[in-house]
Every structure is written in C-alpha cells, then in structure tokens.
C-alpha cells in the first residue's frame, strides 16, 4: 500500500488535553513508501456479493516510534517491493521483511488533533495548531 505519511497517537497524562496527540510520520525528505499488507477478495454468501479486504501488517516499534507507541506499520524498502508482491509459491515466505524501518531514515512531528475524524482532510492536518509542552517535536 503506497503512502507518504502515516499517523500514530501518543497517550498523554490525564492532566493534559487532549488525552492523545497525533503524530505524522514520514521518511526523511518526504519520499513515498509502501506498507506491507495482505489483500483478499471473498464471497459473502449471505449478501451474495464479493468483498475486498485489506490489512496493514504491524511490527514492534523502532527506536523513533517507541517515543510514541509500541508498534508501527511494516514499511518495505523499495528493493523489497517486488519480492513482497511475488505470488509465486516459495519455500520460505518473506517474513524477514517484517521488521521495524530504520529510525534514522524517518522523522515525525505532532500534527492537528482533528486528523482523528475522517471528515477532516487537507494539508492543515499535518500542522500542529498548539504544541503541547513535553511532547517530542520534529524527531529525526
């Protein structure tokens, strides 16, 4: 699944508001990347229709991500995209790719809490209108 950012929320103390602060996470320089995911199509007999489903695979947090969460999506290196997408049966599935992405190749910053509502869209979701004291800022 292609992306240029993803969001993750850091839980805050009860004394801070809001209770969670979202962060925007990207590769340094803003390069696009791809998540490892699983896709399937299946027939729902009760509704007599085909459904397509997708899941992003997660792994333990990298050093950078561990500042805000215990897990992160698996981000594939471009050199591994073809291998991940290869549907040829193999003796060994590419489970070695299910690891945290290198922290020194990523950056994160607090962003707009409104990003938590799917109705809210636009570049202003990447901005943090009021920084909250004590939060990691612009980690690189």
Q: What percent of the chain has pLDDT over 90?
A: 69
Closest CA to 117 of 37, 26, 22: 22
Domains of the chain, start order: 2-126 (3.90.1680.10)
pLDDT single digits (tens) 51-78: 999 999 999 999 999 999 999 999 999 9
Give me the pLDDT at residue 136, please: 56
Give me the pLDDT at residue 108, please: 95
d(CA 133, CA 64): 19
Q: Please check whether residue 67 is in contact with residue 100, taking contact to mean a CB–CB distance below 8 angstroms.
A: no
- Evaluate if residue 132 carries a pLDDT over 60: no
Confidence of residue 127 (pLDDT cuts 50, 70, 90): confident
Q: Cis before residue 114, ω within 30 degrees of 0?
A: no
Give me the pLDDT at residue 131, please: 56
Report the b/e string of 93-115 with b at 16+ CB within 10 A: eeeebeebbebebbbbbbbbbeb
Confidence of residue 115 (pLDDT cuts 50, 70, 90): very high
Mean pLDDT in residue range 110-129: 89
Average pLDDT along the chain: 89
Supply angle C-alpha 111, 114, 119, rounded to 5.
130
Give me the pLDDT at residue 140, please: 46
Map tokens 């060994």 to a residue.
92
Map tokens 């009860």 to a residue.
14
Give me the pLDDT at residue 138, please: 55
């Amino acid at each position: 699944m292609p992306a240029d950012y993803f969001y993750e929320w850091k839980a805050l103390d009860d004394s801070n508001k809001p209770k969670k602060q979202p962060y925007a996470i990207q590769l340094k320089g803003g390069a696009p990347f791809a998540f490892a995911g699983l896709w399937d199509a299946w027939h729902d007999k009760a509704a007599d229709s085909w459904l397509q489903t997708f899941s992003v695979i997660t792994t333990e947090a990298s050093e950078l991500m561990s500042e805000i969460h215990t897990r992160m999506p698996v981000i594939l290196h471009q050199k591994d995209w073809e291998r991940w997408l290869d549907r040829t049966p193999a003796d060994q599935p590419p489970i070695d790719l299910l690891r945290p992405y290198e922290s020194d190749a990523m950056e994160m910053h607090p962003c707009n809490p409104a990003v938590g509502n799917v109705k809210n869209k636009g570049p202003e979701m990447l901005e943090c209108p009021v920084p909250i004291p004590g939060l990691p800022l612009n980690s690189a």
